[in-house]
Structure 1
Amino acid sequence: MSDLSRIVKAYDVRGTVPDQWDERAAEALGVAFGQVLRAFGEPGDAVVIGHDMRASGPGLAAAFAAGVAAEGRSVIELGLASTDMLYYASGILGLPGAMFTASHNPARYNGIKMCLSGARPVGQDSGLAEIRDRAQALLDSGAARLRADAPTERRDLRPQYAAHLRTLVDLAGIRPLKVVVDAGNGMGGWTVPSVLGDAVLPALPLEIVPLYFELDGTFPNHEANPLDPANLVDLQRAVREHDADLGLAFDGDADRCFVVDERGEAVSPSAITALVAVRELARHPGSTVIHNPITSRAVPEIIAEHGGKPVVARVGHSFIKAEMARTNAVFGGEHSAHYYFRDFWFADTGMLAAMHTLAALGEQGLPLSELTSKYERYVASGEINSTVADQAAKVAEVRAAYPQATAEELDGLTLSFPDGAWFNLRASNTEPLLRLNVEAPTEERMISLRDEVLDRVRR
């Protein structure tokens, strides 16, 4: 029997298949999703469903669809899709949706990202906890039984998705660029040829050098997790070997995009956040831009310098999207390379962030390293994970060690020091880890503070 409390996280479902969840649990979750949609008064009589390239995806999606159908809603089946394509479908069709993916997790995992109509997020505080409890009750009672396949309408929205993104960023007039793209055997290999290539739309002035575009949920080359520097090595080498202008790396469901400059050096997601924010503020002066507490302090500084209103929100897509909707923000960025756009139903799309980066580079003559240098003002550690038995006690211990620091607790513990250095220590929403991020005006100060805090965390 599945214990859904183990797999229903802060803003999605994520667990190993079939030991933590299986098609019976997926069906129960589909029934519960249909019930919550009715309770929320969601419009329409259908749900749009997609899945990534993992072998367990089609079966889980079909079982979920059967549960949704049992609650009186029809199903629009996208088949293979990236997460941002699912959000596009939810937005353009005005329907709730469910994307079956475990993003960057290893092959044995799968999960569900659910949304209401218009790609509005479903998180713990916006329906996910109720879905979990209703589904668990069905499983515990034995009422959940696999039914016949749900009646579905199959739609291929990839051409429309690609065309929509092309209307948001004009790449036709940029200078020619050579771009290495590492899809990590994930859904970027499905969407990049349509959006940046010439698979369905006229060719752009881009020479795409593909790495690992073959869809393979076993990830035979490396994990589809560009946040881990080890998974960027192939891209960095290829950028240098091909004398490319930049490299792009997508995670498994292609909702995140990481950038490598012409030297093969990683560009921080904070710098990309600032770059895209400046572009969006030029189009929409005075707008609000959302960032989380772990992005570089350069991000709010640059937003304010360009006439925008920086607003901080908790880490996680359901929190960022909710704050974007509340403030009508034009853009939002996270340290994890999630980028959110008002023009895309406040949802996150790695592809649109990549297109903004290509446009910014191609509209002028500087190499990417020089273009992005003005957005990188401080030295950051990157995210460092530590397995800790009692996370709350350890955070309290670290807080007590720095009585002179200014503390904020919007998302974990952020301690700021008079010299401009700061660190954030927070518990993972999905794993038994403490995550540490450190930033300082100099590399020496960053390393010193990083090592000091890590010693206390791991002691």
Structure 2
Amino acid sequence: MSTSATTSYQPATEFNPITINSFKAYDIRGELGVTLDEDIAYRIGRAFAQILYQRYHTVSDSQSSDMATLQPAIVIGSDIRHSSEQLKQAVIKGMLDAGADVIDLGMTGTEEVYFATSHYQALGGIEVTASHNPINYNGLKLVKDQSKPISADDGLAEIQALAESGEFATNISPGKLQLLTDKSAYINHVMTFIDTDKLKPLKLVINSGNGSAGPVVDLLIDKLIQAGAPIEVIKLHHEPDGSFPNGIPNPMIEANRVATQQAVLTNKADLGIAFDGDFDRCFLFDEHGKFIDGSYVVGMLAQAFLNKYPNEAIVYDPRVIYNTEAVIEQHNGKAVISKSGHSFIKQVMRDSGAVYGGEMSAHHYFRDFFYCDSGMILWLLTIELLSITSKTLSELVTGYIQEYPSSGEQNFHLTTLDAPTIIQAIEEKFSTQQPTKSTLDGLSLNFGEWRFNLRASNTEPLIRLNIESRGDAALLATKIQEIQQWLALQGAVPA
């Protein structure tokens, strides 16, 4: 669908300086009516477009080959939250008033904006989403040309400063708005990641969480059926519904996994699949309904990619590393570690040319998807892998889990001490054991047969703990108890 469109939001005529508290390390996220509303969204949209256009004209004047091919447009989409459409209209109005041409993609997941930014050779893209946050929150995820991330030290602070000051360029001819909701190019690109001829009979449970995933799942299932794939799908919480009648789609919360687990068992499915609200994260359940920790999925995909692409680089984060590094070494890949967070992972992947990158938080990145993360590509690759190997998901990951057991990520609220103080104190606590230390992301201490990573959250007032061992579940349990008790003495309360 391609039509011209208009936006309904009308901004103020004067812009006094304000403080905007919804800017985070990698994106914008705030409580509705408190730190984020339509007026703030307008300011952010206008600042974003003005800065991108200033960069575009500066660089294009110098005849940069990268920028010369770009069209002076910005793409935008929004998730299913009730507040998203209104916020999107305000952002669009801000970008139009900055002189930007805007392509409205309609209701989308974040990865659709990533795709469209590169597909349309746009200057940048915005997804209006709060992903897995509570229903009274919303936010914006921003990318620049070539779907590259924008972080606090790479443009986000500049956007915040301009949005807060309200010192926008004037006497600008407004841009034009176009509605392009056809997902065909995106769907076709995602389907290139698998060979449908290799797919064997599989029964899947797919839980879209009443988020934005449902329509894309339908289109992909249609493609699979058209290709003759012997796939049966049980759809759970499938219809997009911004009131989230079955709870906020966040499978990281154990209670939110139950529906998928029960559906897998009831239907005797081969695989369970669940998404967060904007489906940039995909979570897997084996044929027994067991939730598979993200770090083991990283190892599984690393092995699959190295089987297809020998000697390639694989990027991973430092929270849980034993299994991933062992898989990469065994399959003659190049192990490249990166600080956690999508902006870091994507840059390290670009620098190393890595074919795949994964985080234990269920973000999976693909070189052939503009180095961006995709939840849809993950589950397609998984059904291909189950078909090629003729193994169940539990058979694929059980060896990983036994050889390198881990605690899973544990979160703690801080009640007395701050994160840097606690991290320094725990380093001192273990200093006599002379572990190998890394401060790439928080603090990692490696004792040979076990290790842990303790880091402050970039997005929430939490400290996050991961512990793993080399095949010793009893040692792991002992160390989990020891560090949990120590953190409790520091005033760190389980979240």
Give the shorter-chain TM-score range: over 0.9
**What is the TM-score when the length of structure 2 is the normalising length?**
0.88
Q: Which structure 2 segments of 5+ residues have no match?
A: 1-16, 57-66, 490-495
Show the counterpart of 1:295: 320
Q: What is the deviation of 1:327?
A: 0.9
Which of 442, 453, 456 is the equivalent residue of 1:427?
456
Q: What is the deviation of 1:454?
A: 1.8
Deviation string, structure 1 residues 312-364 (Cα, Å, up to 9, x no partner): 11111111001111111110000101000000000000111111111000123
* 1:20 and 2:20 correspond: no
Cα distance in 1 for partners of 2:436, 2:408 equals 21
Question: Is the contact between residue 197 and residue 203 of structure 1 (CA under 8 Å) also seen in structure 2?
Answer: no
Q: What is the deviation of 1:439?
A: 0.9
Deviation string, structure 1 residues 126-173 (Cα, Å, up to 9, x no partner): 2111111111111xx7x799x999741111232221111111212343
Which of 242, 260, 282 is the equivalent residue of 2:307?
282
Question: Is the contact between residue 65 and residue 149 of structure 1 (CA under 8 Å) also seen in structure 2?
Answer: no
Alignment of 1:18-167 (within 5 A): 18-41=33-56, 43-95=70-122, 96-138=124-166, 151-167=176-192
SS in 2 for 1:374: helix
Show the counterpart of 1:170: 195
Q: What is the deviation of 1:60?
A: 0.9
Q: 1:78–1:168: structure 2 CA closer, same or farther, 3 Å change rule? A: same
Aligned length: 453
Q: What is the deviation of 1:367?
A: 1.8
* 1:11 and 2:40 correspond: no
Cα distance in 2 for partners of 1:367, 1:89 equals 34
Cα distance in 1 for partners of 2:34, 2:174 equals 23
Show the counterpart of 1:378: 404
AA aligned to 1:189 is G
Q: 1:177–1:20: structure 2 CA closer, same or farther, 3 Å change rule? A: same
Q: What is the deviation of 1:371?
A: 2.0
Question: Is the contact between residue 320 and residue 468 of structure 2 (CA under 8 Å) also seen in structure 1?
Answer: no
Rg larger for:
2
AA aligned to 1:428 is S
**What is the TM-score when the length of structure 1 is the normalising length?**
0.94
SS in 1 for 2:198: coil
Question: Is the contact between residue 74 and residue 103 of structure 2 (CA under 8 Å) also seen in structure 1?
Answer: yes
Show the counterpart of 1:393: 421
Q: What is the deviation of 1:184?
A: 0.8
Question: Is the contact between residue 269 and residue 337 of structure 1 (CA under 8 Å) also seen in structure 2?
Answer: yes
AA aligned to 1:327 is S
Q: 1:199–1:61: structure 2 CA closer, same or farther, 3 Å change rule? A: farther
Cα distance in 1 for partners of 2:320, 2:222 equals 31
Show the counterpart of 2:59: none
Report which stretch shifted further, 125-134 or 235-244: 125-134
Q: What is the deviation of 1:86?
A: 1.1
* 1:458 and 2:474 correspond: no
Cα distance in 2 for partners of 1:333, 1:67 equals 35
Report which stretch shifted further, 295-304 or 258-267: 295-304
Q: Sequence identity of aligned pairs in percent?
A: 37
Question: Is the contact between residue 202 and residue 231 of structure 2 (CA under 8 Å) also seen in structure 1?
Answer: yes
Show the counterpart of 1:207: 232
Deviation string, structure 1 residues 373-405 (Cα, Å, up to 9, x no partner): 233321111111111141111111111111022
SS in 1 for 2:335: strand
Cα distance in 2 for partners of 1:386, 1:346 equals 31
Q: What is the deviation of 1:22?
A: 0.6
User: What's the Cα RMSD here?
Assistant: 2.1
Q: What is the deviation of 1:414?
A: 0.8
Question: Is the contact between residue 106 and residue 218 of structure 1 (CA under 8 Å) also seen in structure 2?
Answer: no
Show the counterpart of 2:475: 445
Q: Which structure 1 segments of 5+ residues have no match?
A: none
Q: What is the deviation of 1:203?
A: 5.5
* 1:413 and 2:443 correspond: yes
Q: What is the deviation of 1:365?
A: 2.3
Cα distance in 1 for partners of 2:336, 2:390 equals 32
Cα distance in 2 for partners of 1:124, 1:26 equals 18
Question: Is the contact between residue 66 and residue 150 of structure 1 (CA under 8 Å) also seen in structure 2?
Answer: no
Q: What is the deviation of 1:100?
A: 0.6
Aligned structure 1 segments of 4 or more residues deviating by more than 4 angstroms: 147-150, 198-203
Show the counterpart of 2:13: none
Q: What is the deviation of 1:200?
A: 9.6
Cα distance in 2 for partners of 1:40, 1:300 equals 40
AA aligned to 1:406 is T
Cα distance in 1 for partners of 2:84, 2:173 equals 17
